[in-house]
Amino acid sequence: MSFVDSLLKHSPKKLSILLVDKRAAPGGHWNDAYGFVTLHQPARNYGVESSKLEAATAHPELLASRAEVLAYYKTVLEGWQAAGHDVRFVGGASFDFEAGAYTAADATTEVAAGTVVDARYTENDLPLHTPPKFAFDASKIDVVPPNELPARAENGRSRYCVVGAGKTGQDAMLYLREKMGVAVESLAWVVPTDPWITARDPPAPQRQITCMEFLAAALDAHAAAGAPAGAADDAAFLQRGFASLEAAGKVYRLDGAAAPTKFMDATLNGREVGVLKACAPSVVRRGRLASIDGSGALTFADGSTYELPWADAAATTTFVHCTAGAFDFGASAAEAKRPIWSSDGKRITVQEIFQFPGFCFNGAVIAWLECQHALAPDEKNARCEQPPPGGGDAAAAPTPSGLLGALGRGHPLLVSLRNLRRWYDTPGMGEWLHGLRLFSLTMNGYTLDEGKALIAKVHDGLVAAGIEE
């Protein structure tokens, strides 16, 4: 919807747009999210270009609820239509890209579209639809997505094992402790990899660390450590950056003795982190969970096993599946990588071209470029470099699941940097970016000149460190 909104705003032509979605209502994955989920990036940096989400939420930290986000997208759609735009939404439908037709309510309708936009490549993987990444016998073991937690309080099970330590796992643990009142001794939390957590403390609702500011901080930490030129591509570079942010109170970790190896911009405030830290006796750090046997015992990928610290584990424990890996984008991961614009410009595949926070921003950027009719498809693609498969070009580079490794040239952060430099060099684009509510540097109050200065500093620093050209 971010793509459509910016397309409508900037296109010099009258457009006719058909939105086809498998879900019944606009709002994408928010329709399938667990009921207690909230937005965890600033609301003023989420949604679409022309409508403020922050005006639609009553939460003091701008954490829009699921209901507020869904209402927002419904209002956005209705706003387009009220403004006279020819936009139609067809929900509960599937689209056949080869046939150019959609099927809804058992009826198939052909579509005569000049351009087909494929937005599946940024579809989140959610526990509700993504199978657990561990084996179990469903006849003996109760495994549920977090969506079902509210109902589990009434089924007689008093103990819970949460599998996964991303934002979904963090949310599940907070819900169990704060809303359901489950005692720490009745909880187990399987933490495969420890994450860095973005701090959402004042003034964070208005300003959170962005990817370009993070690179600047990492470069400063790199210099302070006296690291030699060329060492920015080792695994320590990113960790130095996070350590410096931790010292400044801008990121958290769950355990001071456990070195985080993952970052997916999960965001919490200090109070919430305190609740999770108090769950330390429940934490199980054995790596990836491979299976749960019929007795409830856990077996890990390294072959080690763990018995839950209570009797009758299989009969009394609800296992909460939080292993979907939201930004693995499983719906498209099996397909061959394709350019954003096809050579004839008749197919656009919305993809990730800029890092945190960037989810909605990416759609707006691609739409703005689509409206620059003087640019040929190959010229648009040249401004939208994509990270290589696997998240980098070195064996140690991060994977799409956010594992931290070396800062190789194909790292998504460096791809984001190069793309932003290209956008600043595109006539009119820098001015647009610094008026765009979805752009992270705009959110943090940077003027165009300040943004260019930051990017020049980061680029020059990475060149000096031997990682960029």
Average pLDDT value for residue range 287-295:
96
Domain 2-124+328-394 has CATH 3.50.50: yes
Tell whether the model's pLDDT for residue 393 goes beyond 70: no
228 Cβ contact list (under 8 Å, min separation 6):
none
Does the 142-207+257-323 domain belong in CATH 2.60.40? no
Q: How do residues 189-199 score in pLDDT, each as one tens digit? A: 999 999 999 99
Residue 75, CA atoms < 13 Å, CB-side half-sphere: 14
Q: Which amino acid is at 179?
A: K
Helices (H), 83-158: 149-152
Total length of the chain: 469
Rounded to whole angstroms, the Cα distance separating 243 from 222 reads: 11
Q: Which residue has the tokens 């056949």?
A: 96
Q: Residue 329 — very low, low, confident or very high, per pLDDT cuts 50/70/90? A: low
pLDDT in tens, 411-453: 889 999 999 999 999 999 999 999 999 999 998 899 999 999 9
**Nearest-5° Cα angle at 153, 163 to 279:** 45
Average confidence (pLDDT) over 368-391? 90
Q: What is the mean pLDDT of the chain?
A: 89
pLDDT at 400: 44
Report the alpha-carbon distance of residue 78 to residue 64 in Å, rounded.
20
Cα gap 278→323, rounded to integer Å: 22
Nearest-angstrom CA–CA distance, 118 and 27: 16
Q: Give the closest residue to 454 by CA, choosing from 208, 200, 211.
A: 211
Q: Which of 98-102, 206-210, 274-278 shows the lowest mean pLDDT across its residues?
A: 206-210
The answer to whether domain 2-124+328-394 and domain 142-207+257-323 are alike in fold is yes
Whole-angstrom distance, CA of residue 416 vs CA of residue 213: 12
Query: Is 292 a residue whose pLDDT tops 90?
Result: yes
The predicted-structure confidence for 11-31, as pLDDT tens digits, reads as follows 999 999 999 999 999 999 999
pLDDT tens column, 274-287: 999 999 999 999 99
Q: Two tokens at 191?
A: 């933490």
HSE toward the beta carbon, residue 76, CA cutoff 13 A: 28
> What average pLDDT does this structure show over 281-306?
97
Q: What is the pLDDT of residue 460?
A: 94
* pLDDT tens-digit map of 354-376: 987 778 999 999 999 999 999 99
Q: What is the pLDDT of residues 35-76, one digit of tens each?
A: 999 988 788 889 999 999 988 777 766 688 999 999 999 999
Which of 213, 200, 255 has its CA nearest to residue 38?
200
CA 185 – CA 342 distance, rounded (Å): 55
State the Cα–Cα distance between residues 131 and 144, nearest whole angstrom.
10
- The full set of domain ranges for the chain reads 2-124+328-394, 142-207+257-323
d(CA 259, CA 237): 14
Q: How far apart are CA 257 and CA 442, in angstroms?
A: 36
Average pLDDT for residues 201-208, to the nearest whole number? Answer: 66
Tokens of 400: 């799409």
What does the alpha-carbon distance between residue 62 and residue 75 come to, in Å, rounded to a whole number?
A: 18
Q: Where are the beta strands (DSSP E) in 233-297?
A: 251-252, 262-268, 283-284, 289-292
Nearest residue to 140 via CA among 295, 290, 289: 295
Rounded distance between C-alpha atoms, residue 320 and residue 163, angstroms: 6
Query: Rounded distance, CA 446 to CA 45, Å?
Result: 14
- Give the pLDDT band (50/70/90) at residue 206: low
Residue 403 pLDDT > 90: no
DSSP 146: G
Which amino acid would we find at residue 44? R
Percent of the chain with pLDDT over 70: 91
Q: Residues 232-272: pLDDT tens digits?
A: 667 788 999 999 999 999 999 999 888 898 888 888 999 99
Residue 18's DSSP bridge partners are 88
Which tokens hold the place of 96?
């056949």
pLDDT of residue 201: 78
Positions of E strands within 281-346 = 283-284, 289-292, 298-300, 305-306, 317-321
Is there a contact between 319 and 294 (Cβ–Cβ < 8 Å)? no
pLDDT given at position 335:
60
